[in-house]
Chain A
Amino acid sequence: MIFKGSSLFAETILPEIPSAVTTIYTDSNEPRIPAIAVACGSQVLVYRNVRPYFKFTLPLLENGDTESTSVETDIWRQKSDTQQLVQLLEELSIEYGFSRLSSPSQKLLAMNPEERENFLKMFGHLQIKKQVTITCMTKISKMMEGEKVVECLIVATESSDLFVLDPETFSVTEQRKIPGVVTHMVAQGIYIVDYFLIFSVRCGAVYKLKRDEQEIKCLTNLSSLPIDLALDFDRFVIINMDSTFQSYNLKGSKEWSILLDGIPTALSVMPPYISESTFIIACNTTKKEIIEGVVYIYKGTELLHKLHVQEPIQTFIYGPYGFGEQAFIFNTTNGGLSIKLLKRTAQFGSGDKCATLGSSLQQNIKLLIPKKSKIFVEQTLREREQCKNMYAWFQKSWQGMKILTCESYLNALQNSTVSDNSGLKLTAQILGLGPRLKLEAQLENICTDELMTDVSVTFLYDSEVYSIENAYINIPFVIPNYEYKFATFINCCLNISESHINIIVCHKNKVILSAIVNMPSEINSGNTSFVLLTAVVPQTQ
């Protein structure tokens, strides 16, 4: 279909599903009328003035593939029964690879077993010919630079071949073997002078081919499969299946990578006379289960503009349309075709990295690094010379600090009661006349709905005055509204007038409750003192 302006201009039926289409200037006659080249199967059809002009048919395969083809032809000619044929072909496909088989064989193997019989009845008599299938096509100016000059077509095929077609002589001028099946390809330069070709292959590697150079250099292996590839003067940019938008220089080293919001579908570079290094990317993002298209315009890594489209975008092209207006033409998955024109007064920013949106922000954070002062230089020198001393000093002060913290912790425990936010109640009493005393305590969980586990009780005391028989008591769990009783004996070794013992309740490693029990001052006099202590903290729940 050919559109002129916004209405349908002409419609032509193609013999097969096309794989690529481009416009091309085929000769130097005036007025300059471009032709339309369509790659279909193994042919390139060229149309002029909406009428077929000529067609290239790519030559059939030679070299390495003849062997498999002849074997295949033999197999088909023998015409054994379906079962046997399929089996032989399967063996062949294992030996040579599925992609080397001819298309009828491929079809037969891929088909449901029930349908095979029918298929053979209809097509079994046809001759087996290995078809080449074009996967990708691009163009390059033939003899000189400029607009509207004669161009050559470059096509790549499923059999990893590359052909250069000259539309002036209607012939194939060059044929090369390449390392893979090309998915995307861009060319720059002039065919008879110097040119290079950058292409990505199905396994995700990117290669560069130069005129006059036999070797085809592998530039990079992508982290993920490429979706689209474009050339921007001295770099190439790529969008990948992992939603990244990456830029590489022509030697293959990565310059930057941006994570896109959504799955990209197409990429294009603006012509430098409009704005340099400006890229247009179409993405499809899923928002609230609805897939919508977004078009991003990047200047370098800076996001300049975001354009929302209601439907998911299938693909787009960008370029001058009609009378030279910069147009962005896209089609959506539901079959819509839309055209957007660029405003003449559009501003593209300066390419500075300030005022950016979204993903490039993290690259703009400037670290505050002061200049190297004299003191800094001296210090580094000293550090280098006296590292051992410095380390020893550091260790010492580190230990000192540790001790200090431990001391203050202990101090805090002794001098104040700790009560964490668990509703525990502790009651303690000292029984006996001494020197052997009995400490009895009750622990109660006054929370109604919380079970305390891993609770332990220990004591803090002056070891010169007392010795406690059971200094560590473990309480597996404290059930709510149940008084847990525990007791221990305390031996008094010295007769001291005033003293106390701290009871500490721990939960795992944390002190959650502490209480001070005053000891009877004259133990030998036989007085019994009662201490009732409660530390109840309001529940937090």
Chain B
Amino acid sequence: MGLLDKLIGAFGLKKKEARILVLGLNNSGKSTLLNQLKNEDSKIISEVVPTVGFNVEKFKNQNVGFTAFDMSGQGRYRELWENYYKDCEGIIFVIDSSDKLRLAVVKDELDLLIQHPDIVAKCIPILFLANKKDLRDGMSSIKIASSLHLERIQDKPWHICTTNALSGEGLQEGIQWLTQQICDKFK
């Protein structure tokens, strides 16, 4: 890398690219959330349908271009997730905060994720989104964090915030944090 490149990088002028994974159980709102992040013109107006396999979406935040893998959260597609662990620079983990019953399943999947050899070795930021905060019987982000034992993740930066994927509320805060983490790593 030349001196010039370094300079440009340091001033945040160069366009950066980051590949991120969007994980979470089915119906947690991953696709809805990504749809919210996209440009106004490529947005789907109608109701999102359950994802089959996975979708690749692109969006920009500040000067980082994100390539997001929107994985399907259905039981039978969850084993696909680990194939993408190797080359990703960040993870968004979406949780349906109104689904108390499946919080145990969420914990199970999270355990599998952070114990996976491809993830253990890496220091990548994980953003937890407690989605559907508009619903009446939703759990607070503190409750979710303690039920999932998030405090045990000590070798990776993580952050949790509540969102509403339908209105986009709370989403910017989370993405801002993720962008910051990824930029810090570039330097």
Residues of A bordering B, CB below 8 Å: 5-7, 321-326, 339, 341, 343-345
User: In the complex the two chains form, is A323's CB within 8 Å of B26's CB?
Assistant: yes
Residue B108 at the chain A interface, CB threshold 8 Å: yes
| Nearest CB in chain A: distance from B112 CB, A | 7
Give the complex CA separation of A324 and B72 in angstroms. Answer: 13
Verify A323–B25 contact, CB threshold 8 A. Answer: yes
Contact of B74 among A6, A7, A324, A343 (CB under 8 A): A324
Interface size on B, residues (CB 8 A): 18
The answer to whether A322 touches B102, judged by C-beta atoms less than 8 angstroms apart, is yes
Nearest first, the 5 closest Cβ-Cβ pairs linking A and B are A6-B101, A5-B101, A6-B100, A323-B26, A323-B27
B100 touches A344 (CB 8 A): no
Bound-state CA distance A36–B99 (Å) is 23
Give chain A nearest CB distance to B73 CB in angstroms: 8
Task: Tell me which residues from 52 to 80 in chain B have a Cβ below 8 Å from any Cβ of chain A.
Answer: 74-75, 78-79
Given the contacts A7-B100, A323-B25, A341 and B105 also touching, CB distance less than 8 Å: yes
How many angstroms from the CA of A345 to the CA of B27 in the assembled complex?
A: 20
B123 interface residue (CB < 8 Å to A): no
Q: Does B142 sit at the interface, judged by CB under 8 A?
A: no
Which B residues are in CB contact (< 8 Å) with A322?
A: 99, 101-102
A344: B residues at CB distance < 8 A: 75, 78-79, 105, 108-109
Interface of B is mostly: loop
- What is the CB-to-nearest-CB distance from B146 to chain A, in angstroms, rounded to a whole number? 18
Contact residues of B between 100 and 142, Cβ < 8 Å to A: 100-102, 104-105, 108-109, 112, 137
Closest to B112 in A: A345
| A341: chain B residues within 8 A (beta carbon) | 101-102, 104-105
Q: Can you list 12 contacts pairing A with B, beta carbon distance less than 8 Å?
A: A5-B100, A5-B101, A6-B101, A323-B25, A323-B26, A323-B27, A323-B74, A324-B26, A324-B75, A339-B101, A341-B105, A344-B78
A5–B75 CB distance below 8 A: no
A322 vs B26: C-alpha distance when bound (angstroms): 11
Which chain B residue lies CB-closest to A3?
B101
Over the window 85-104 of chain B, the binary record of Cβ atoms lying under 8 Å from chain A Cβ atoms (1 yes, 0 no) is 00000000000001111101
A29 to chain B, nearest CB (A): 19
In the assembled complex, the Cα of A323 lies from the Cα of B137 at a distance in Å of 18
What A residues does B98 contact at CB under 8 A? Answer: 5
CA distance A325 to B27 in the complex (A): 12
Q: Are B99 and A5 in contact (CB under 8 A)?
A: yes
Residues of B with C-beta under 8 A to A325: 75, 102, 105
> What is the bound-complex CA distance between A38 and B98, given in angstroms?
29
Q: Which residues of B contact A324 (CB under 8 A)?
A: 26, 74-75
Among B75, B78, B104, residue most surrounded by chain A Cβ atoms (within 10 Å): B75
| Chain A residues, Cβ within 8 Å of B105 | 325, 341, 344
| Contact call A7/B109, Cβ cutoff below 8 A | no
- Nearest A residue (CB) for B28: A323
Complex alpha-carbon distance, A343 and B79, angstroms:
12
When C-beta atoms are compared, the residue in chain A nearest to B108 turns out to be A343
B78: chain A residues at CB < 8 Å are 344
A322 to B101, CA, bound (A): 9
CB distance from B126 to the nearest CB of A (A): 20
- Which of A7, A321, A323 is packed against the most chain B CB atoms within 10 Å? A323
Select which of A7, A323, A343, A345 is within 8 A of B102 by beta carbon: A323
In the complex formed, the residue of A with least CB distance to B50 is: A323
Provide the residues of chain A in CB contact with B101, threshold 8 Å.
Answer: 5-6, 321-322, 339, 341
Q: How far is the CA of A339 from the CA of B102 in the complex (A)?
A: 10
Could you tell me if A7 and B137 are in contact, using CB atoms closer than 8 angstroms? yes
- Return B117 CB to nearest CB of chain A, in Å: 15
How many angstroms between the C-alpha atoms of A344 and B137 in the bound complex? 26
CB-CB under 8 A from B112, the residues of chain A are 345
A6 to B102, CA, bound (A): 9
- Whole-angstrom distance between the alpha carbons of A81 and B26 in the complex? 69
Min C-beta distance of A289 to chain B, whole Å:
33
Bound complex: CA of A325 vs CA of B108, how far in Å? 13
Complex Cα spacing A335 to B3, Å: 73
Which residues of A are found within 8 Å of B104, using beta-carbon distances?
A: 341
- In the docked arrangement, what's the CA distance between A323 and B109, Å? 15
For the complex, give the distance between the alpha carbons of A343 and B137 in Å: 25
Name A320's closest neighbour in chain B (CB-CB): B75
Closest to B27 in A: A323
Query: Taking CB as reference atom, which chain A residue is nearest B73?
Result: A323
Residues of B within 8 A of A343 (CB): 108
Once the chains are docked, how many angstroms separate the CA of A344 from the CA of B76? 8
| Residues in B neighbouring A6, C-beta threshold 8 A | 100-101
Which of B26, B100, B105, B108 gathers most chain A CB within 10 Å? B105
CB distance from A271 to the nearest CB of B (A): 12
- In the complex, which residues of chain B have a beta carbon less than 8 angstroms from the beta carbon of A345? 108, 112
> What's the nearest-Cβ distance from chain B to residue A524, in Å?
107
**Cβ contacts under 8 Å, B137 to chain A:** 7
Return A31 CB to nearest CB of chain B, in Å: 12
Beyond A6-B100, A323-B74, 19 additional pairs, beta carbon < 8 A: A5-B99, A5-B101, A5-B102, A6-B101, A7-B100, A7-B137, A322-B101, A322-B102, A323-B26, A326-B75, A341-B102, A341-B105, A344-B75, A344-B78, A344-B105, A344-B108, A344-B109, A345-B108, A345-B112
